[in-house]
Amino acid sequence: MGFQGQHIISIGDFSPADIRQLLHLAHRFSQQPQPDLFAGKLMATLFFEPSTRTRLSFEAAMQKCGGRVIGFSEASMTSTKKGESLADTIRMVEQYADVIVLRHPRDGSARLASEVSSIPVINGGDGANQHPSQTFLDLFTIDTLFPGRLETHQDKPLVVAFAGDLRYGRTVHSLLAALSHFPVKILCCAPRGLEMPEHHIQLARKAGVEICDIPDLATAVREADILYMTRLQEERFPDPIEFDHVKSTYRLTARLLRDAQPSLRILHPLPRINEIDRDVDSTPHAYYFPQAGTGIPVRQALLALVLGKELSHG
């Protein structure tokens, strides 16, 4: 669908060509600073749910290119507390800013915001649904680690194992949809009750992706090129007893990594809680902190595209 002036709501709205365009531009941002590109532009970050990486990396991305930022990270200090609707909040903020980044606990809230907004809305995560800018960041990381493997024609599929809470983790839903454009094999490793929802699996299969369940992390470690870990989304569990039952059932340790291929890389959208032991951080497989760092060039690329800003050559 292209990017300029568009809302960024679901990764499913973007073609492989769109994804490649975004990744190409992000690579350029990572190599060539653009200190004045967003001069005169104002981004509003409306975060109705906690965030460290998404909000700060969007804000850093804007400010490093000369743009400015308004917004909030604590909705209880806004007029939402007095009962103002999300739609009315968006109708106000569009008077002030050029682009909105929204995080909200309700599935579908970003789509709703886009329907009333005349300026681009970027979904910074809506409930358990989608987190498209994280997906672009994840794809950029994979493309950097395994150059050329995210081409549409490859003989050998890249093996990506998703592990942890695949039911409520929105990042894995978005990433599975995006990876379905490319030659990948997907392994799913989840505690009972937290499996990948069936409709996401069916969509991937329809796109021609081989996707299967595996029983444990040890199998994922042996077979994968990329092990994408996720935390248990405690805040989305309807029943705290269910959460207590499954917590700590999946824990990656350096010991478990002894059987890994040397090229295995571990990704995680972060925050990490207990699912990756601290002793994994110093192994050559750990890549989740550099992954978070790619949030800056990827979000700069996304902002440049939706704002219609061309990079200078130099």
Positions that interact with ligand CP (CB under 6 A): 51-54, 125, 131, 134, 269-271
CA-CA-CA-CA torsion for 77, 81, 85, 90, nearest 10 degrees? -10
In angstroms, give the least distance from the CB of 232 to ligand CP: 14
56: left (phi over 0), alpha (psi -120 to 50) or beta: alpha
H-only helix segments in the chain: 16-31, 53-64, 86-93, 109-116, 132-145, 170-179, 198-206, 217-223, 240-246, 288-293, 295-307
35 exposure class (CB count in 10 Å sphere: 0-12, 13-18, 19+): exposed
| Closer residue to ligand CP in complex, CB, 271/290 | 271
| Closer residue to ligand CP in complex, CB, 117/134 | 134
Phi, psi of 250 (to 5 degrees): -120, 115
| Closer residue to ligand CP in complex, CB, 57/114 | 57
Task: Please give the structure tokens belonging to residue 106.
Answer: 């309700």
- Taking the C-alpha atoms of residue 258 and residue 40, their distance in angstroms, rounded to an integer, is 52
In angstroms, give the least distance from the CB of 218 to ligand CP: 26
**Candidate list 103, 167, 265, 299, residue with the active-site label:** 103
| Closer residue to ligand CP in complex, CB, 41/268 | 268
| Closer residue to ligand CP in complex, CB, 227/260 | 227
> In sequence order, what are the beta bridge partners of 286?
266
| Closer residue to ligand CP in complex, CB, 49/183 | 49
Could you give the strand order of the β-sheet that contains 265-267, starting from the edge strand earlier in sequence?
Answer: 210-213, 184-189, 158-163, 226-229, 265-267
**Candidate list 53, 64, 91, 106, residue with the active-site label:** 53
In angstroms, give the least distance from the CB of 310 to ligand CP: 29
In angstroms, give the least distance from the CB of 253 to ligand CP: 22
To which residue do tokens 């990827």 refer?
A: 298
Catalytic residue flag (residue 53)? yes
In angstroms, give the least distance from the CB of 146 to ligand CP: 21
**Candidate list 7, 41, 45, 54, residue with the active-site label:** 54
| Closer residue to ligand CP in complex, CB, 174/180 | 174
In angstroms, give the least distance from the CB of 261 to ligand CP: 26
Q: Degrees (nearest 5) of the Cα angle 303, 305, 307?
A: 65
Catalytic residue flag (residue 54)? yes
CA separation (Å) from 3 to 18, 24, 32? Answer: 8, 14, 21
Which of 275, 260, 285 is CA-nearest to residue 191? 275
Catalytic residue flag (residue 103)? yes
In angstroms, give the least distance from the CB of 10 to ligand CP: 16
303 within 8 A of 38, measured Cβ to Cβ: yes
Q: Which residues does the annotation mark as catalytic?
A: 53-54, 82, 103, 131
